[in-house]
Amino acid sequence: MLRFILTRVSLVIPTFLGITLLAFFLIRLVPGDPIETLAGERGIDPARHEQLRKEYGFDQPILVQYGIYLARVLQGDLGKSMITQEPVLSEFSELFPATIELAVCAILFALLIGLPAGMLAAIRRNSIFDHGVMGISLTGYSMPIFWWGLILILLFSVQFDLTPVSGRIDVLYYIEPITGFLLIDTLLSEEEGAFWSAVRHLILPTIVLGTVPLAVIARMTRSAMLEVLGEDYIRTAKAKGLSRFRIIALHALRNALIPVVTVIGLQVGVLFTGAILTETIFSWPGVGKWLIDAIFRRDYPVLQGGALLLGIVVMSVNLLVDLTYGLINPRIRHHR
């Protein structure tokens, strides 16, 4: 078991090095003086310029420069924002809970609907229900979610006035951040109505961000289920005289979940992509909006550090999924 975990963790190292290498080179492509860009300061005097030049190793070979950068990253030093002069890492960790809260809600939403829909579609293969689920999920998969967000605002906020248009909570509440997750913090604060305000603000962004994963999960569950239902051991289960329900809910689902978990893991990347768009539409104060704002403010250290951190997060989640995969699939666990 330990060997299995260590093998999987060691496989991530080249990817990590690759991402840092990418971040390292990309920032050097930015037009303008790279030292000013890296330091997050503009118009610095020559003495400081020279000092920074040494610090970043610009007088040394490119490999040494990368080594210096990597050492800094490993120590958690990702530079500081040009605008706020705050360290990139602390800004990121301040905003990240908002993104996680949204992402978790979205994936739960997607699972809650996508799994049962995919299963039912597989069981009733080629029925009207099946065609309906597949049609809707392909539409969801093709959805430009930035437009989908606007349309939902148009319907629910403008037409029916049901949900708020932007932000995480009504301005009249001030919630002391304890966990950073508003759903928890509002409950802890005991401020009346704050929790529901947070929930109401979450609804539309959750739907928007959950749409594509929902479509993917429904399609994947269906095809995994169909494949499993054709396996020999399902025939054995039938030959044992088990009930249809038990065969599907136990023997088939347990095996069909294995590829579905993998897909959910891969959806984390898609989720962060979607978060960038969703947060922009709903002015959701998370890392996605922060990154886009950084682009328009030409805050390159934030862009470099933020993208690197998001990459690392996605990589870590993929690793976690890989490990879980080993846990629920005994074949993998024992073979490596």
Partner 1 sequence: MTAETMEAPPAAAHTATPPHPLREFWGYFSANHGAVAGLVIIIAVVLVALLADVLAPHSPYVTNTTIALQPPFWQEGGSIAYPLGTDPIGRDILSRLIYGARLSLLIGIVVVAISIVIGTVLGLVAGFFRGLTEIFIMRLMDIILTLPSLLLAIVIVAVLGPGLMNSMLAVALVILPHYVRLARAAVITETSKDYVTAARVSGAGTARLMFREVLPNCTAPLIVQASLGISTAILDAAALGFLGLGAQPPSPEWGTMLADAREFVLRAWWVVTFPGLAILITVLAFNLLGDGLRDALDPKLKR
Partner 2 sequence: MALLEIENLSVEFPTQGGVMRAVDGVSLTLDEGEVLGVVGESGSGKSVTMLAVMGLIPFPGRVKADKLTFNGRDLLTMSESERRKLTGKDVAMIFQEPTTSLNPSFTIGFQLAETLRLHEGMDRKAARRRAIELLEQVGIPSAESRLSAFPHQLSGGMNQRVMIAMAIACNPKLLIADEPTTALDVTIQAQILDLLMTLQKERNMALVMITHNMGVVAETARRVMVMYAGQIMEERSAADLFDSPQHPYTAALLAALPERSEGATRLATIPGVVPGLYDRPRGCLFSPRCAYATEHSRNVRPDLRPWAGGQIRCHYPLGDPNRNAEIQADHPVGAEAAS
Residues that bind partner 2 (CB under 8 A): 231-233, 235-243, 251, 254-255, 328-331, 334-335
Site string for partner 1, 87-126 (x = CB under 8 A): ----------------------------------------
Report the chain's terminal Cα–Cα distance, integer Å: 8
- What 3-state class would DSSP assign to 167? coil
One DSSP character per residue, 233-263 reads HHHHHHHTT--HHHIIIIIIHHHHHHHHHHH
What φ, ψ does residue 87 adopt, rounded to 5°? -60, 140
What φ, ψ does residue 191 adopt, rounded to 5°? -80, 130
Hey, what's the torsion of the CAs at 238, 218, 270, 318, to 10 degrees? -20
Which of the choices partner 1, partner 2, none does residue 254 contact, using the CB cut-off of 5 to 8 A by kind? partner 2
Least separation in angstroms between CB 301 and partner 1: 12
296 and 290 in contact (C-beta within 8 Å)? no
From the number of C-beta atoms within 10 Å of its C-beta (0-12, 13-18, 19+), residue 68 rates as middle
**Of 148, 195, 282, 284, which one interacts with partner 1 (CB under 8 A)?**
148
Closest CB to partner 2 among residues 43, 330: 330
Q: How far is CA 300 from the centre of its chain?
A: 22
Does residue number 82 form part of the binding site for partner 1 (CB under 8 A)? no
Which of the choices partner 2, partner 1, none does residue 320 contact, using the CB cut-off of 5 to 8 A by kind? none
Site string for partner 1, 31-60 (x = CB under 8 A): x-----------------------------
Which helix (H) or strand (E) segment holds residue 132: the answer is helix 128-141
**Of 52, 203, 270, 332, which one interacts with partner 1 (CB under 8 A)?**
270
Which of the choices partner 1, partner 2, none does residue 62 contact, using the CB cut-off of 5 to 8 A by kind? none
**Binding region for partner 1 (CB under 8 A):** 14-15, 18-19, 22, 26-27, 29-31, 135, 138-139, 141-144, 146-148, 150-151, 153-154, 158, 269-273, 276-277, 280-281, 291-292, 295-296, 303, 307, 310-311, 314-315, 318
